[in-house]
Structures are given as structure tokens and as C-alpha cells.
Chains A and B, each alone.
Chain A
Amino acid sequence: MESKHVHEQIAAMRQSFFNEEVLNENFSQLEQLEGKDNPNFVEEVFTMYLRDSIAFLETIEEAMKTIPIDSIKVDSILHQLKGSSASVGANKVLKEVNKTRQVLGKGNLERTKASILELRKEYDSFKAKLEPYFQLKQANSMAQEK
């Protein structure tokens, strides 16, 4: 059936995220929190996370343009990003955040900039993967309701 097919599709997508380590077990934790009364909890969380992270990243990118760079500010934002990424289970993004913080801590400007670019890429990739997933889920559940 269609729905079954979609279901499988969704499941496959999800599994691939884990396989690729795009997501980690914290994501499962969030899923467990979902329930009848809030079936879209995970999606809501992700929407919020994606929105805030992009703001963080943009702020970081801006901060990196100033001279001299306010590394404390950048680190502080990275710290926040770390917390939220960890909480939602955005594994690769989290790893990039940690890497960037490390490089920033060492004071190597060029490497930091490169790292931030990497981070941005991971984020974009993450978003590109998760959004369709949620959309599919949403479409599916709506279809199911019919």
C-alpha cells in the first residue's frame, strides 16, 4: 500500500541516518518522548534547532570577518551550538563543532575559518537530509489520518 511503502521509506531514511552517523542515540531519546499528545514533538524540536543553529552559524561567520576576531564570542556561540546539537542528536554537526572549538582554541585563524566552513557544510547537509524526512513523515501521518 502506499502508506506502507511510505512507511518503509521513512524507516529506511531514518536508519540511514544512524548508519551514516548523522544522528546518534539522542535522537532516539527524543523519539521516545513523542507520544499521542504530541506526535510532532521531534519535528518541532528539529525545526527549532535548525532555525537557531543557522542563526548561530551566521553570527559566527560574521564574527569571523571582524578584525580582530572576538574569539570569546565565537567560542561562546559554538558552546551553545554544541549543547543543542548534542541534545538533538545531530552527530556530525556536533563533531564539527567540537573540532572548530579546538582549532579556535589553538588560535589558528586560517584553520578556524576552514573548520567553520566545514561546520557550515555539515549543517547544510544535515538540514537537507532531515527536512525531507520530516516532510515525508508529516505527509504520511496526514495520509494515515484520512
Chain B
Amino acid sequence: MNSSSGKSYMSTASSSVIWKAGGDVVADQFPAGLRVLVVDDDPTCLMILEKMLKACQYNVTKCNRAETALSMLRENRNGFDIVISDVHMPDMDGFKLLEHIGLEMDLPVIMMSADDGKNVVMKGVTHGACDYLIKPVRIEALKNIWQHVVRKRKNEWKDFEQSGSVEEGDRQPKQSEDADYSSSANEGNWKSSKRRKDDEDENDERDDTSTLKKPRVVWSVELHQQFVAAVNQLGIEKAVPKKILELMNVPGLTRENVASHLQKYRLYLRRLSGVSQHPSNLNNSFMNPQDATFGPLDLQALAATGQLPAQSLATLQAAGLGRSTAKSGIPMPLVDQRNIFSFENPKLRFGEAQQHVNNNKQMNLLHGIPTTMEPKQLSGLHHTAQSMGNMNMPVLSHGSQSSQNNPLLMQMAQPQARGQMLNDSTVGLAPRLLSPMGQPMLSNGMATNVSTRNGVPENIRAPSYNPVSQTSSMLNFPMNHTSELPGNSFPLVSTPGISSLAPKVAFQEDVNSEIKGSVGFMPSYDIFNDLNQHKPQNWELQNVGMMFNTSQHSNSLQGNLDHTQSVLVQQGFSTGQNRNSTVISKAMFSAGDSTGHVNAQNGNQHLNSLFVDNTVRVKSERVADAAPANLYPDHFGQEDLMSALLKQQDVIAPAENNDFDFDGYSIDNIPV
């Protein structure tokens, strides 16, 4: 609550503390009425805590599930002053909840656990908990929790003032009391005590106003999105609070607010990815693979034949990438791709791998594709991708057609494809193929042949995102972003697949960070498209994957491949989840096959329709699935498609997929 009068505690049933502006707090009442939310899955402990808190005269709300707590907090952002949460909970890790709260609502959170190991306590500290209580919690420890609320406000106030909007206020209420305080009975408090002291020192020097008066910034979902968008725009490395603030252009927001939020955000990202990937790195890595020869397949040569090859390649790559991600289950669009590239190379043999494209391993798709991407980068991508959720692709959509970009995309797509590759037997290429062709796939309805155009992607994008968002749970982010992303992801598709891919990749990374889990479905989609379009390499992939249908001529093959590849790819991506991939790939294939004779262009169209269908279906399935899966409609008609495709093509359905598993932790939990 940011009430100017600083009455944060007002409105409690038991007592309201009225803070007068700059004035005295009704000291004897405070901290009575402090609004506490206590979260613990153990009913006995919850009951005891509630009783104890009530005995402290706090206004208590209890909750036995983290998800419920989070939604309560979201619905009523200003309804609580402090949160106490158990570490060990079945539905969500307490630290994760802590992160969410810190990022979204910026409330002080106290962790508690029966565990008193140093590591756990340290974890609490690093995740931003303002205190750590050890069970059994004593009432004395609870009596002092209000200090955290005051401290936080004071700090905010300080920032506020420093930013130039000092308000007159006086005093630090309770400063003297702070001195007496022991933040909690636990040992893990040294930090808070230390902080307290620092605060006090600072306070003494400042003659600032009552900290209570400072309005607290509530990081709503929208605001946070704006923040993330700004950060992405600047690039996570270059994102400095000042610039972010300028970009966000939110009146009343101070640099300090942004700075503290950025800090939390960074922590959060770091935790998610485990690796801090530079978008630039990723790009580089992407680029490399592309530059590198694709190897035996000589996709480039093939690609020369037309867009499709490129697209196919992209798809293949994407598929490959997808697979790798599958591993983690999170569709890390970007990352996966990279990974896939790097280590999947050998696997790219579509022919062989097809059957088993298991996540990570199979990257068959990219057979021949030089995956120079370092695994690390890929993993980075992977991470980001994962966090991004399905977003990966969309990100790329930035659409720059620079060739550089594309490679990235491709690469990205590939890992994704890999990951996505159905665990069981994905046809590496197939999934990819789908994607390029997939445009239809992408967008659930987009049926436009994305592969061909740059311009088109835009359109396509939009649709594709939709499905994704709908389907994946991860979509937390995507939903919001879809609007943003579409632009990104599709661009890839439209043009020389690769080029477009690149943008996406980059984007994705950013997105990933922002999305926190937003699904990256889209990205995969796009990537595929782009891939296909773009590079001859795709073609290569296609060939590989397809293994191809020896019977087909190169041209037709390409066409077919493209189709199938895209189909496959798409499937790969869409499946995001390892599971469906097999089916989908098949489906894809069949789709491809049916259109098989069509040339790339035509095929696309056919495929489009085919896919559209599928995508639509998939979508619904996905939703039911609740799998974050990506865009790729893996679910839908997988069986049909797959079998059809497979039959025709003799291609192995790229069962990948799932790599995109967007569900990851991140996606769901991240309140975007």
C-alpha cells in the first residue's frame, strides 16, 4: 500500500495503525494489524503459526498452497505487508515462491523450515528472503517480523528520496526500536541485523521523511512486462536502471525502484538458466554453425535450389534443436538449438537417427549441419529458451533478415528441434520440415506460406502465437508477449529462413529473460520456418532427415522434404514435449507426404492447410495437456500426420519435440 499517509497497516481488523504524515506513528499500536500471509503445507504448523501471529495482534491470512498464496497476492497486491512461507512445499518450492513475490510484489518474505542447515539458510539469503526462521517457530521470533516491513519501506523511501523526490517527513519511526531488535531468534539473522545497522546509520545521516510515507512500487504484471521489454530492448548486459527507466517511461517510477527490481530480476534469471548467456554469444554461436559447412549434406548446395531448402534446413536444424531441449522438457528454443547443434551434429544423420530422435541426442536433423555451437551456448540457449518458454521463436522474429540472424535461428531452431524431437523417434528432419512449411503449423491457422516471404511472417506470426499461448501453460509470458513476439518469430519464416531466425534467436534470449518462463513456443515455430526458408542448409537437413526418400528427386525431394521437414519441424517444435513428438512427426510427415509432390512452394501451401488443421487440433490438445509445449501442435493429429508422413517419406518422424517443454518451472510460475 502506498498510501501517502503511510498507513500501511491500516484497515486491519484488530487495530489500525495510523501513520501520520511525517508524523508519529501510533507507536503503541504498531505493529498491530500487520497483514501477514502465512504459507505452509503442514496443517499443524499452519494452525500454530496462525495462532501465534494472531497473538501478536497481526492480521493473519493462512494458506496451505503456494499457488493459492501467489494468486491471492496477485489479486490483492496491496493487501499484505509481509509473507511467511515454508521452504518445503509440495506444489512449489518455497524459494520459487519467494522469487515470484520478490519480483512481482516486492513484499518482504520470511522463509521458514525445519531445516537449519547452513546451505538452506544461505539459499534463503541469496533468493532474497528477508529472514529465515527455523521450526519450531517461537512466538518471540514472530513478534519482531514487522521490522522487515519497516526496513523495506525505509529503503524504498531512501531510494525515493535519492531520486530526487524527497518528501518531508520525518523520522524514521522505530529507529530506536530497531536497535533493540533482533530480527529473529534464529542464527541466520546476522545479515538482517547487519542491514539494520546500516540502515540506522543511514537514517541518522539523513533527515528524511518517514519511510512509511513512501509509496511502494508494486510491480504489476504489466509493469513488469514493460520492464522486461525495456531490458530486452537494451540487452540484458547493457540494461542499466537509468536507461530502463527511460524506456519504460512510467511516471512516478524511480531509478531506484528499477534498480532494485533489476537486481531481483537478474537473480531470478541467473537462477533459471544457471548460465548467463549473452544473447550475443548465442548469436555468435548460431552464426558459426551456419557458416560452417553443413557438412556432408551439402545442404547449401541444395539450398541453392530455392527457399525451401533453406527452410528445410532451418527446420531441420530447428528440429534438431528442438530435440535437445526436449531433454529438459523445457522448450528452450534458443538454447536447445544450440545444444543440438553442437553435439548433435554427429547425430544428424537423419536416416539413422530418425528413429530415435530422442531429445538431446538425436539431433539427427541437423545432420551435416555444422553445429559449431558450443554446447555451452546451446545450453545457455536452452536455458533461456526454457525460461522463455516457448518464446524462443518469437523472439527471433525480429525479423531482421540479416543472414546472421538466420543462422542463429537455425541453430536455435535446431536445438529446439532436437529437443523437441520426440523422444522416441523423431525424425529429426521431419519436425523441422514442418516448420518451414509449417507456417501453417505455426500459426494454427496461418496457413500462409511463410517460408517464402519476409513480409508474410508478420501475419503468420500472429497466429502462431496464438496457439501457443493457448496451449502452453508456459505461456504465461507468451500470452502477453505474443503480441510482441509475433513480429519476431515470424519474420524468420518469411524470409530466408535463416536470416529471420537469427533475429528470433536474439529475441528469444531477451525474451527468455523476460519471460521468465514464458513460453517460447512460438519461437520454435518461427525458427523452423526461418530455417527452412533460409538456408540451403535446411535443405541439407531435410535431406538428411528424410533419408530420405531416395526415390524422390532432388527437386521434388526438396519440395517434399521441405514439406515434410517443415512439417516435422513444426511438429517437433510443437510437440515441445517429448511425448507427442512421435506422433506428430508422423503426422507431419504424412502431411508432407501428401503434399509431397508439391514443390516446396506448393507444398507449403498444402502443408499449410494440413498443418493448419493439425495445429488447430494440436492446440486443443495442447491445452488439455497443459504442457507447455510449444507451438507445435504436436498433439494434434499426430498419429495421422505422422503415419502419413512416415509412410510417404520413409522419413522418420522426428519425434522430437518437446524440447520445448516450456513448462518448466519458469513458465508456469513466472508471473509475467
A interface list, Cβ under 8 A from B:
26, 29-30, 32-33, 38, 41, 44-45, 48-49, 52, 76, 79-80, 82-84, 86-89
Contact = CB atoms under 8 A, between A and B. Distances in A.
A26 B48 CA distance: 11
Contacts, number: 60
Given A83-B88, A83-B136, 14 more contacts: A29-B138, A32-B139, A33-B52, A38-B51, A48-B47, A49-B44, A52-B42, A52-B43, A76-B88, A79-B114, A83-B114, A84-B42, A87-B137, A88-B136
A133 B136 CA distance: 23
B115 A30 contact: no
B206 interface: no
Contacts of A32: 139
Interface SS of chain B: mixed
Contact of A80 (B42, B48, B52, B136): B42
B88 A33 contact: no
Contacts of B139: 29, 32-33
16 contacts: A26-B136, A26-B138, A29-B52, A33-B51, A45-B44, A48-B43, A49-B44, A52-B42, A52-B44, A80-B42, A82-B135, A84-B44, A87-B45, A87-B136, A88-B44, A88-B48
Contacts of A86: 114, 135-136
Nearest to A47: B44
Given A44-B47, A52-B43, A84-B45, A33 B55 contact: yes
A83 B42 contact: yes
Contacts of B137: 87
Contacts of B136: 26, 29, 83, 86-89
B52 A83 contact: no
Contacts of A79: 88, 114-115
A80 B47 contact: no
A83 B43 contact: no
Nearest to B40: A83
Interface in B1-60: 41-45, 47-48, 51-52, 55
Nearest to B134: A86
Contacts of A38: 51
Contacts of A48: 43-44, 47
B411 interface: no
A41 B137 CA distance: 17
Contacts of B45: 83-84, 87
Contacts of A80: 41-42, 88, 114
A38 B115 CA distance: 30
User: Which of A32, A33, A44, A84 gathers the greatest number of chain B CB atoms within 10 Å?
Assistant: A84
User: Which of B42, B44, B47 gathers the greatest number of chain A CB atoms within 10 Å?
Assistant: B44
Nearest to B51: A33
Contact of A82 (B48, B55, B86, B114): B114
A34 B150 CA distance: 29
A83 B135 contact: yes
Interface string B61-92: 00000000000000000000000001010000
Contacts of A76: 88
A52 B139 CA distance: 23
B88 A87 contact: no
A146 B47 CA distance: 30
A38 B88 CA distance: 29
Nearest to A32: B139
Contacts of A89: 136
Interface in B122-161: 135-139
A48 B44 CA distance: 6
B666 to A, nearest CB: 22
B654 to A, nearest CB: 34
